[in-house]
């Protein structure tokens, strides 16, 4: 089994790189990547064919009705799946989104949990938080809150949420085991993890992992499936499932990652009941 990697640079340097990358996206600026923007789930500009394209989002599992009801600017096209579609959210549940970006999955979760439920989005990029909070205001989402923080150090209390979701973000974290341990900590007994992320179907080399553009564009930070499962189980989760999205079921914007053996997957796990 491939050991869960750390970025070759210091962890704080990696986080700073990712923060800068997504701050630029939130500002609507084009990013100079060493790989084509079309090969990245996260590259390009906020107005590119990858970011914000409704047809690509529909291929990932969103419906036209969902996308049509979102505040303008909530869908930046940064995901690799639809975590709110992985499991059925229920009215009254408390949901936490790791790396919430401009808020798309928080807003969709808020509709499902209703006014008696709640949704918290955590993101480490101040520019994204500004954008998400403005989107919440425009959309009148009173049961959604956005907090500044790192997903390895969640600003959320122990056993306080029912469901943890995330969309193409955990691969960006330099300490993925810590992310899963934090998710386990904040979940109530019996709570569920539902994540859309990228996984590696072959070992990724140290050189590839050291490439800043590959890492920050949701590519070389991906882990192999068995490593993901091991980290989740070590964190305490049970009923761990990783289901790959076949290349024909993802938009063209993600297919370029195949050169690294990186594909999208839906990941589920459960915190055991007491």
Q: Is 215 part of any domain? A: yes
3-state secondary structure of 146: strand
145-166 tens-digit pLDDT: 999 999 999 999 999 999 999 9
- Residue 24 falls inside a structural domain: yes
The boundaries of the domain holding residue 180 are 11-270
Q: Is residue 48 part of a domain?
A: yes
Q: What is the pLDDT of residues 183-212, one digit of tens each?
A: 999 999 999 999 999 999 999 999 998 888
What is the CATH number for 162? 3.40.50.150
Total domain count for the chain? 1
Residue 228 resides in a domain: yes
Backbone phi, then psi, for 95, in 5-degree steps?
-120, 140
In a domain, 2, yes or no: no
Would residue 206 count as lying in a domain? yes
Contacts by residues 17-21 (CB-CB < 8 Å, ≥ 24 positions apart): 17/212, 17/215, 17/216, 18/124, 18/172, 18/215, 18/216, 19/124, 19/125, 21/216, 21/217
Residue linked to tokens 């690799």 = 80
Is 158 inside a domain boundary? yes
- Taking only the tens place, the pLDDT of each residue in 109-151 is 999 999 999 999 999 999 999 999 999 999 999 999 999 999 9
Output the CA–CA distances (angstroms, integers) from residue 142 to 113, 186, 266, in the order listed: 12, 22, 29
Q: How far is CA 129 from the centre of its chain?
A: 15
CA end-to-end span of the chain:
31
At 159 the pLDDT is 98
Strands 161-167 and 94-98, bridge-based pairing = parallel
Distance from C-alpha of 95 to C-alpha of 147, rounded to nearest angstrom: 13
User: d(Cα 229, Cα 41) in Å, to the nearest integer?
Assistant: 23
Q: Is 1 inside any structural domain?
A: no
């Amino acid at each position: 089994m491939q050991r869960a990697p750390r970025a070759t640079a210091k962890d704080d340097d990696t986080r700073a790189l990712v923060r800068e990358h997504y701050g630029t996206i939130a500002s609507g600026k084009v990013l100079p990547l060493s790989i084509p923007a079309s090969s990245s789930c996260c590259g390009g500009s906020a107005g590119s064919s990858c970011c914000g394209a409704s047809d690509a989002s529909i291929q990932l599992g969103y419906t036209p009705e969902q996308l049509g009801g979102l505040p303008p600017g909530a869908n930046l096209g940064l995901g690799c799946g639809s975590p709110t579609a992985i499991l059925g959210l229920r009215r009254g549940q408390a949901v936490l989104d790791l790396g919430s970006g401009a808020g798309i999955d928080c807003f969709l979760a808020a509709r499902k949990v209703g006014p008696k439920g709640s949704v918290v989005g955590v993101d480490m990029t101040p520019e994204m938080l500004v954008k998400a909070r403005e989107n919440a205001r425009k959309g009148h989402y009173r049961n959604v809150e956005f907090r500044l923080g790192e997903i390895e150090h969640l600003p959320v209390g122990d056993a306080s949420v029912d469901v943890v979701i995330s969309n193409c973000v955990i691969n960006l974290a330099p300490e993925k085991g810590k992310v899963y341990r934090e998710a386990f900590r904040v979940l109530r007994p019996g709570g569920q993890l539902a994540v859309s992320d990228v996984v590696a179907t072959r070992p990724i080399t140290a050189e590839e992992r050291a490439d800043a553009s590959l890492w920050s564009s949701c590519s070389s930070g991906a882990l192999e499936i068995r490593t993901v499962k091991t980290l989740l189980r070590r964190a305490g989760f049970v009923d761990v499932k990783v289901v790959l999205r076949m290349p024909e079921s993802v938009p063209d914007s993600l297919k370029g990652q195949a050169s690294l053996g990186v594909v999208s997957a839906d990941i589920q796990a459960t915190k055991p009941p007491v």
